[in-house]
Amino acid sequence: MSNDCCQTSKNKQIENEWEAVHSQFREKEKQLTRARDELNAERRQLPKKEVTNHYSFQGADGEVEFSDLFEDAEQLIVYHFMFAPEWEEGCNGCSMMVDNMGHVAHLKARRTRLVLISRAPLAKLIAFQKRMGWTVPWYSSYNNTFNKDFKATLENGEETHGYSVFQKDGERIFHTYSTWNRGVEYLGTTFSYLDMTPLGRQEKWEQAPPEVRVKQTDTYEWWRHHDRYKNE
């Protein structure tokens, strides 16, 4: 057998071995995906706690109430951005998180809004937002206890980062979920955000809580270019 034939045979063997190992690994990834789907379904079944405290925030358009943060959405995702009142710039890690946030139009199409909340005064937030070129709405909780109530500011005064999810039912607001520390690492895509919410992705394959009435669509049916949602 020629050297060329031997090399071809060896290359084919390497390719087959490579494909076999990668196929086995992909099966593990599929198992993880299915397990994550089950975990997300379980999260949607978690009990909700009504928010009874009154909160006013400072935003780019002035003072707003907590319910105003939803605008016309049913769900609200808050990123607790670490920015203490005495700091001159925002947290490095939180800044990287915002850099990786997807376009909010896709969330809006699923009746969900994403905002940032920090304790620093609004002027500092606006200046830093402009510097970083972000467009995600940012609100100051400088004059209220929101951060402490939702454990974004600890008892010792230290700031921490995380996400909290809220759902609006008429005039009532419910806290449905929070995650912290490494729980935020894989968040940033539209799907990862929706998976945290009680309504989920609102797609037909999902298991929705029995008491939740949500219009579910096919997976690809609702996707649009982000500049076309407003035209429908």
**Model confidence pLDDT, tens digit, residues 205-214:** 887 766 566 7
Distance CA 33, CA 26 (A): 10
In the block, residue with structure tokens 């270019």:
225
**Model confidence pLDDT, tens digit, residues 44-83:** 999 999 999 999 999 999 999 999 999 999 999 999 999 9
What's the average model confidence in pLDDT over 158-183?
A: 95
What are the helix and strand counts (H, E) for the chain?
A: 6, 8
Reported confidence tier of residue 37, pLDDT bands at 50, 70, 90 = very high
What's the average model confidence in pLDDT over 4-12?
A: 75
Is 90 exceeded by the pLDDT of residue 232?
no
Average pLDDT, the chain: 92
What's the average model confidence in pLDDT over 140-154?
A: 96
The one-letter code for the residue type at 170 is: G
**Model confidence pLDDT, tens digit, residues 113-131:** 999 999 999 999 999 999 9
